[in-house]
């Protein structure tokens, strides 16, 4: 196998910037030696470019361009959405409903709001990562102001039933927010059609530059108001002050335009590659799919290889395949992913999981190479594993007493 070949299968972490996006940004990377007159002219050009990008992004998700608020990324958008609603609607209530498998940008912000007096309900998910809609409706109380459910999960690709959740929110007069970072630009995401009022997303997850994101905020039916979290010159309809990142926004706009035009064929192509990867790796013994088989993103698969430690498996790839393991480095210990634990996986399967997220630039050769490398790695690690040997001999590992020495 070619040890120098670099295979990137971690597109849920970040996507490579599309060369067409870089090309669109170049004219806005200012040459500081230009004269003052040119800089003044640049101001007008920049303003027009930002307006155009706002339209490109609004077109992608089929909203009014005035409903797009630019931020530094989805984390800031999540913070602005949650904190902005909590402060603005505090007289109406303090109860927010969210899900245990949300991104940390949502969970940590909710944790912060709890300290300020918010009451947060965290919904459980089933083995596929889907919430129970009856449970969601039962959790709504007279003081509920917001329900925040991510469109597609970053670890498993599971897509929630957004339309039904939107209908429940409308029925009870509750605002509906979604972190749609993993979905926008990859599948059709139309917040107005499903009843989402506030939606966070990011440029660098859809082949645009890092450091720029957006928050969709509904202007009518209902008109949503948010308390600004960044005070200053009153930019972005007063919701987010600060000089705009013009090159980043231009790139974000171009990325949105490309996504609108190419999303369908991109999804069709990568889903076939994803299915090939999944089918071939499932030929190994004791391989489990984590999350939903049907209701999921076209480019993601999360697989557990029983009795193979995920971090260790990644070491066998000679660092030339980029994927994510189901363990997160927190301090000195390797904790299993809280998302996989919420799905009901035991520590053994959670620790043995790998997330493969394909993208626009993934080739069939990349997938073939990955299949071969992962299969070799799994077999190699199982050959060295006394636990796998015991498992193969039919010993019930739950009954084994492990010695300290």
Domains of the chain, CATH where assigned:
7-14+263-399 (3.90.1150.10), 19-258 (3.40.640.10)
pLDDT tens per residue across span 237-246: 888 999 899 9
Question: Around Cβ 261, how many Cβ atoms within 10 Å?
Answer: 11
Q: Tell me: the pLDDT tens digits for 9-37?
A: 999 999 999 999 999 999 887 654 444 55
At 398 the pLDDT is 65
Nearest Cα neighbor of 95 from 60, 61, 140, 55 is 140
pLDDT given for residue 32 in this prediction: 47
Residue 298: DSSP 8-state: T
With a pLDDT cut of 90, the percent of the chain lying above it is 77
The pLDDT tens digits of the residues spanning 99-142 come to: 999 999 999 999 999 999 999 999 999 999 999 999 999 999 99
Confidence grade of residue 335 (pLDDT, cut at 50, 70, 90): confident
Distance of CA 402 to the CA centre of its chain: 39
- Mapping DSSP onto H, E and C, the string for 44-64 reads HHHHHHHHHHHHHHHHHHCCC
> pLDDT tens digits for 158-172?
999 999 999 999 999
The dihedral over CA atoms of 336, 159, 240, 231, expressed in degrees to the nearest 10, equals: -40
Q: Write down the pLDDT at residue 29.
A: 77
**pLDDT given for residue 331 in this prediction:** 41
* pLDDT tier at 321, thresholds 50, 70, 90: very high
- Catalytic residue annotation: 329
Please determine, for residue 330, whether its predicted confidence score (pLDDT) is greater than 50: no
What is the chain's mean pLDDT, rounded? 92
Token pair for 205: 């997850």
pLDDT of 1 reads: 52
| pLDDT > 70? residue 253 | yes
Q: What is the mean pLDDT of residues 371-387?
A: 90
Torsion angle in degrees (nearest 10) through CA of 226, 232, 233, 234? 10
pLDDT tens-place string over residues 140-156 = 999 999 999 999 999 99
pLDDT of residue 328: 57
**3-class DSSP state of 235:** coil
Return the pLDDT at 38.
56
| C-alpha closest to that of 291 among 329, 344, 367 | 344
């Amino acid at each position: 196998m070619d040890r120098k070949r670099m295979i990137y299968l971690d597109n849920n972490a970040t996507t490579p910037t599309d060369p067409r996006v870089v090309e669109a940004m170049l004219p806005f990377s200012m040459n500081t030696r230009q004269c003052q007159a040119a800089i003044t002219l640049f101001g007008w050009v920049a303003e027009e470019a930002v307006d155009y990008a706002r339209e490109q992004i609004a077109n992608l998700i089929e909203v009014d361009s005035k409903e797009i608020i630019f931020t530094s990324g989805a984390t800031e958008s999540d913070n602005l959405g949650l904190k902005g609603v909590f402060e603005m609607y505090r007289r109406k209530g303090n109860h927010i409903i969210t899900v245990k498998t949300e991104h940390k940008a949502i969970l940590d912000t909710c944790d912060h709001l709890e300290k300020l007096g918010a009451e947060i309900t965290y919904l459980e998910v089933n083995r596929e990562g889907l919430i129970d809609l009856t449970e969601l409706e039962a959790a709504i109380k007279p003081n509920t102001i917001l329900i925040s459910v991510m469109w597609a999960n970053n670890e498993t690709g599971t897509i929630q039933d957004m339309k039904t959740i939107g209908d429940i929110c409308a029925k009870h007069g509750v605002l509906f927010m979604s972190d749609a970072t993993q979905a926008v630009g990859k599948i059709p995401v139309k917040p107005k059609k499903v009843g989402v009022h506030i939606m966070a997303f990011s440029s660098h997850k859809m082949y645009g530059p890092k450091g720029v994101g957006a928050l969709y905020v509904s202007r009518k039916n209902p008109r949503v108001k948010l308390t600004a979290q960044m005070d200053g010159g009153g930019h972005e309809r007063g919701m987010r002050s600060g000089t705009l990142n013009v090159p980043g926004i231009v790139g974000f706009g171009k990325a949105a335009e490309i996504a609108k035009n190419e999303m369908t064929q991109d999804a069709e192509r990568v889903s076939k590659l994803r299915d090939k990867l999944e089918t071939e790796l499932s030929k190994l013994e004791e391989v489990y799919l984590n999350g939903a088989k049907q209701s999921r993103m076209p480019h993601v698969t999360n697989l557990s290889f029983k009795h193979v430690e995920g971090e260790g498996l990644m070491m066998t790839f000679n660092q030339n395949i980029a994927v994510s393991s189901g363990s997160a480095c927190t301090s000195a210990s390797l904790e299993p992913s809280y998302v996989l634990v919420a799905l009901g996986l035991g520590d053994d399967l959670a620790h043995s999981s790998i997330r493969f997220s394909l993208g626009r630039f993934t080739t069939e050769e990349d997938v073939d190479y990955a299949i071969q490398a992962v299969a070799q790695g799994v077999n190699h690690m199982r050959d060295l594993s006394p636990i796998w040997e015991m498992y193969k001999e039919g010993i019930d590992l739950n009954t084994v007493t492990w010695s300290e020495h």
